[in-house]
């Protein structure tokens, strides 16, 4: 019978070879000479929110993402097309039989609000957002953005999670998974839904999906603070404190007896964060200390309740950024109110609808930008203004609104690490489809991660047999927008 056992000499020879390989791998890793294999951050289960080192020196410490739900029209806001004005009322060349999301198209329709040059850069921006336009010299426009779906739900999914399908983590969850938080008494990732309600896919924007649950976003807004933070009135302060001390003692004993139980450590950490939040979350939502000038800047006391509510959310976003919250996702627009009623989905009567939505968005966001800039927060904060796709340069046949258009639209960045008063890429002469330096949402996500010091190809999580990334197997850094 053949002996399959190793001899002592063979075992020692192969062991030495293996140890040499391990040593070489370690040395190459230290020198940065290994291929960019996926990297899963090392997370201490007892301190899952502790700050973690990025892959390289970051330009931004945190992100504020402003998401316009319903797909705001680029050709009526930031993407000026003189040819669209010139050919108003004419058919879109080469598209006589074009069918988009809701049906056939009518003729080209010029912007419904006048475009004017803004700032020293002379950037053309429309009167729909005149106060935001005052910050043209601080903005970096990407005019060639494209999406993979012309349907709100999947397109919202892609902008926030990188995938058109459900079941993937939001970008804020990826960021906090990678970097943790420098704020130890607030969630690392906060989502602020519009006071009118949530966007179409709701909490999937800030869901952690297959990432550990502690990286899920916490949703609250200025009118609806985080629930269940205060102890019941029937429980005394001493009883509450005694109960927490006892639970903490039992947890610690269990942790000593079962040091490998990472789920227990994570739960302990979550409860400790919740205890600290009892004070911090109440403070961050209390705007009584803000000056009248600041409240007026945002429009907090405006007679328009929806505008005032959104203004309070914008002020809340600044207060969160100020306290070091890593990722804040601020939503403008609600799905539940119906098509175009409480969001930017202007199919039928876009001029009437946008005349309502424009003022709700404009002053509060402009106030937020001015406040961030005045406090020096833009030096470390990246602001990303996004939407799920654009809208057509035509009106829908038989209607007075624009249909969905994922072929080309505008997003803009401002703040840490990006060029000021700069435009990247372009749609065609009518604003119909990206024609120059075509960009994808994968590229946008790769660029946001890069500004935070993260290589999008080296951030992964192993799930269901696949090494998952925010950018899937796509995405390129948009180098030209970097300052």
What is the sign of the dihedral through the CA atoms of 381, 276, 217 and 338?
A: negative
Cβ atoms of residues 169 and 209 within 8 Å: yes
Distances (CA, A) of 414 to 71, 207, 226, 299, 437: 20, 25, 29, 22, 20
SS3 assignment, position 362: helix
What's the pLDDT at 249? 79
- Distance, CA of 7 to CA of 423 (rounded, Å): 69
The H or E element containing residue 64 is strand 62-68
**Which residue from 412, 403, 354 is spatially nearest to 383, judged by alpha carbons?**
412
- Distance, CA of 350 to CA of 332 (rounded, Å): 17
Backbone φ and ψ for 6, nearest 5 degrees, come out as -75, 140
- Distance, CA of 190 to CA of 249 (rounded, Å): 30
Mean pLDDT, consecutive 10-residue segments, the chain of 483 residues? 56 53 49 59 86 96 98 98 97 90 96 98 98 98 98 98 98 97 89 96 96 92 72 78 78 73 66 66 79 97 97 97 96 90 96 98 98 97 98 97 98 98 98 98 98 97 95 97 97
Q: Are strands 439-440 and 139-146 parallel, antiparallel or unpaired?
A: parallel
Task: Indicate the length of the chain as a whole number.
Answer: 483
pTM: 0.87
Distances (CA, A) of 6 to 10, 17, 176: 6, 15, 48
- Distance, CA of 181 to CA of 164 (rounded, Å): 28
**Which residue from 110, 49, 137 is spatially nearest to 393, judged by alpha carbons?**
110
Give the number of other Cβ atoms within 10 Å of residue 363's Cβ.
Answer: 24
């Amino acid at each position: 019978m053949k002996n399959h056992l190793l001899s002592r000499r063979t075992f020692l020879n192969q062991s030495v070879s293996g140890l040499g390989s391990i040593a070489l791998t370690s040395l190459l890793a230290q020198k940065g000479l290994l291929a960019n294999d996926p990297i899963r951050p090392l997370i201490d289960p007892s301190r899952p929110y502790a700050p973690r080192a990025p892959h390289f020196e970051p330009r931004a410490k945190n992100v504020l993402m402003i998401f316009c739900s319903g797909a705001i029209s680029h050709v009526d806001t930031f993407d000026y097309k003189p040819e669209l004005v010139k050919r108003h009322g004419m058919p879109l060349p080469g598209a006589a039989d074009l069918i988009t999301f809701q049906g056939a198209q009518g003729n080209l329709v010029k912007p419904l609000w006048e475009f004017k040059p803004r700032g020293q850069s002379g950037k053309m921006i429309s009167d729909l957002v005149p106060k935001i336009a005052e910050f043209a010299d601080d903005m970096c426009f990407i005019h060639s953005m494209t999406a993979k779906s012309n349907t709100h739900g999947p397109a919202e999914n892609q902008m926030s999670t990188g995938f058109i399908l459900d079941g993937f983590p939001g970008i804020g969850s990826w960021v906090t998974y990678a970097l943790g938080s420098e704020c130890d008494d607030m969630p690392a990732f906060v989502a602020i839904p519009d006071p009118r309600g949530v966007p179409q896919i709701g909490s999937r924007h800030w869901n952690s999906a297959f990432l550990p649950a502690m990286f899920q976003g916490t949703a609250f807004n200025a009118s609806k603070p985080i629930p269940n933070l205060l102890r019941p009135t029937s429980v005394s302060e001493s009883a509450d404190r005694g109960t927490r001390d006892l639970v903490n003692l039992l947890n610690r004993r269990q942790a000593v007896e079962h040091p490998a139980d990472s789920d227990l450590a994570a739960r302990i950490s979550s409860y400790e964060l919740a205890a600290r939040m009892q004070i911090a979350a109440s403070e961050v939502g209390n705007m009584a200390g803000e000056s009248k000038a600041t409240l007026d800047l945002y429009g907090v006391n405006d007679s328009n309740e929806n505008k005032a509510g959104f203004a309070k959310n914008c002020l809340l976003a600044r207060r969160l950024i100020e306290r070091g919250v890593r990722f804040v996702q601020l939503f403008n627009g609600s799905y539940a109110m119906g098509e175009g009623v409480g969001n930017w989905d202007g199919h039928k009567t876009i001029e009437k609808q946008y005349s309502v939505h424009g003022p709700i968005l404009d002053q509060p966001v402009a106030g937020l930008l001015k406040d961030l800039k005045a406090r020096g927060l833009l030096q470390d904060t990246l602001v990303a203004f996004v939407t799920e796709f654009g809208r057509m340069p035509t009106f829908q046949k038989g209607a007075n609104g624009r249909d969905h258009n994922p072929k080309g639209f505008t997003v803009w960045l401002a703040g840490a690490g990006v060029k000021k008063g700069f435009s990247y890429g372009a749609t065609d002469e009518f604003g119909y489809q990206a024609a120059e330096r075509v960009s994808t949402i994968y590229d946008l996500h790769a660029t946001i991660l890069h500004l935070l010091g993260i290589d999008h190809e080296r951030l992964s999580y192993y799930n269901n047999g696949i090494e998952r990334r925010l950018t899937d197997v796509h995405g390129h850094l948009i180098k030209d927008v970097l300052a």
